Structure 1
Amino acid sequence: MLALFAQNIKTQYGGFRMSLCEVENNGTYRITRMNLEDANGERLKNLGLKQGTEVKVISRKKQGSLIIESCGRQIALCKNFASAIDVE
């Protein structure tokens, strides 16, 4: 099912790119690109979210927000932030 949403673009890690908005609960993914260049992007980088980091999706809401676990902490992301983070 995820293949229907994933863009047909190979990443440097060998998988297909999709945004965090398109992933399933309880899945573990690797960040391939972050499309946040402002202070919000810096804040997420300071929390340990950067290219190559593994994240586990703890919960997804219908509105698109989600809670992920990375670097030993849980982080809540709004839909706009989640859609700007590509994973595989």
Structure 2
Amino acid sequence: MKKLFAALLSLGLIIGFSFSAGGVVEAKPKVKTYKNCKALNKVYKGGVARAKSVKNKGGKTKYKPYVSKALYDANKKLDRDKDKIACER
């Protein structure tokens, strides 16, 4: 009787853990990519910087860039002067 109880308890624990662990999926938030700088600047007037400490190579700008590593990496192709700020204005 004790062996039967132990076997059923073990089976129940195995089945319970397999269903609970399999259902956990962490989704990464999707980052929007933009077709060109005009589309990006409609949302982010100053462009998108990769880090807070990044300095602009291209001279004076009117607006301060939005800082987001994920957003910059998704739109890296729009950074023409390679200064880690995409579409600065």
Q: Which has the higher contact order (CA 8 A, sep 6+)?
A: 1
TM-score range relative to shorter protein: under 0.3
More helix by share: 2
Q: TM-score, normalised by structure 2?
A: 0.26
What is the TM-score of this pair, normalised by structure 1? Answer: 0.26
